[in-house]
Amino acid sequence: MRGLDYKWVEALEAVVVQESFERAAQALFISQSAVSQRIKQLENFLAKPVLIREQPPRLTTAGKKLMGLYHRVQLLESEVLPELTNQPNQRPVRIFIATNADSLATWLLPALAPIMQERKVEFNLSVDIEARTIEKLKKGEVTGAISLEPEPIPGCVSQYLGRMDYVCVANPEFAKRYFSKGVTRHTLKHAPAVSFDQYDEMHQMFLKQHFNLSPEVITQHRVASSEAFVNLALLGVAYCLIPRLQIAKELEQGRLVDLMPGFLLSFQIYWHHWQLETGLLQEITQAIVDYSSAQLPK
């Protein structure tokens, strides 16, 4: 039986990255019909579709798993081939990481910066809420994920990074307008808020557990950006739950005020990665663990 031909998978990746068969052919220096033929051969080999042929093309579940395998093979090659051939890598090594928006906006980039500067690497950082990032690791879409889930999935390791402490803040004018009598169930009903998306469990927990309030009865903007949360609070159009680490300067300057002094909504975060790591992947894990240990409370 003929094994998996990685030229087929290379064509699949090119179509997804380039978002068209035509541009994929140009990137691979082959004809468009050759790209189509390679993907058909791949689907015949697996006896299932790997690509949803719409604009832009999207991977099926099988295609995502296959892409995860391909990225692992590329990583292994990047470690082994230079040693065997005595030739340096010509292309950057691609690393796929799933992260929550708040880690990306605070400590993750400084943690990875030395590796970006010193190694020939290309990071692809996908952003999702903390509860869903580990799903990307399960599907093989990423090589590591920052998650709230402490238990590792099979074949992976979970390492505790620290605590993310969230404070409820607004600018002084907003606080005076909506919360002059304090943050209560009644005042929260009338104050616009911000959440990441409809699956933002953090804001739902804040309202339900502490105020017995349903998210459906409040005005709630949805913005999938941690930096936008801060800007909206500074603009005085909403109150937000924001990591203290992210707004220490704004709180010190009085541009934002803590609406509930002494209150923290805290979450423990973990770094999930493959069990057997060497070389670059090991460096990335060490950088993430070391930097988060210095920046995040335990």
Q: Which residues pair with 147 in a beta bridge?
A: 270
Question: Domain 64-163+267-295, what architecture?
Answer: 3-Layer(aba) Sandwich (3.40)
Where are the extended beta strands (E) located within the chain?
Answer: 51-52, 58-59, 93-99, 121-127, 144-147, 156-170, 193-195, 220-222, 240-243, 257-258, 265-274
Helix, strand, coil tally for the chain in percent (to 5): 50, 20, 30
Give pLDDT tens digits for 143-181: 899 999 999 988 889 999 999 999 999 999 999 999 999
Burial 120-133 (b: 16+ CB within 10 A, else e): ebebebebbbbeeb
Both tokens assigned to 102: 């708040």
Give pLDDT tens digits for 180-198: 999 999 999 999 999 987 7
Tell me the whole-structure pTM to 2 decimals: 0.79
Identity of the amino acid at 101: A
Cis peptide before 56 (omega within 30 of 0): yes
96 three-class SS = strand
Band (285; pLDDT cuts 50, 70, 90): very high
What is the pLDDT at residue 154?
A: 86
What is the pLDDT at residue 90?
A: 67
For 95, 174, 233, 242, 260, the CA distances from 228, given in Å and listed in that order, are 26, 17, 8, 11, 21
Q: Which residue has the higher pLDDT, 280 or 78?
A: 280
**153/148 Cα distance (integer angstroms):** 13
Give residue 167's Cα distance to chain centre: 22
CB 234 within 8 A of CB 207: no
- pLDDT surpasses 60 at 288: yes
**212/108 Cα distance (integer angstroms):** 34
What is the pLDDT at residue 81?
A: 63
227 three-class SS = helix
Average pLDDT over residues 63-78: 79
CB 244 within 8 A of CB 167: yes
What is the pLDDT at residue 293?
A: 94
Band (1; pLDDT cuts 50, 70, 90): very low
Domain spanning 164-266: which CATH class is it, in words? alpha beta
Give pLDDT tens digits for 208-263: 999 999 988 899 999 989 999 999 999 999 999 999 999 999 999 999 999 999 99
CB 233 within 8 A of CB 169: yes
Q: What percent of the chain has pLDDT over 90?
A: 60
Residue ranges of the chain that CATH labels 3.40.190.10: 64-163+267-295, 164-266
CATH of domain 6-62: 1.10.10.10
**17/28 Cα distance (integer angstroms):** 12
Burial (CB < 10 A; 0-12, 13-18, 19+), residue 185, is: exposed
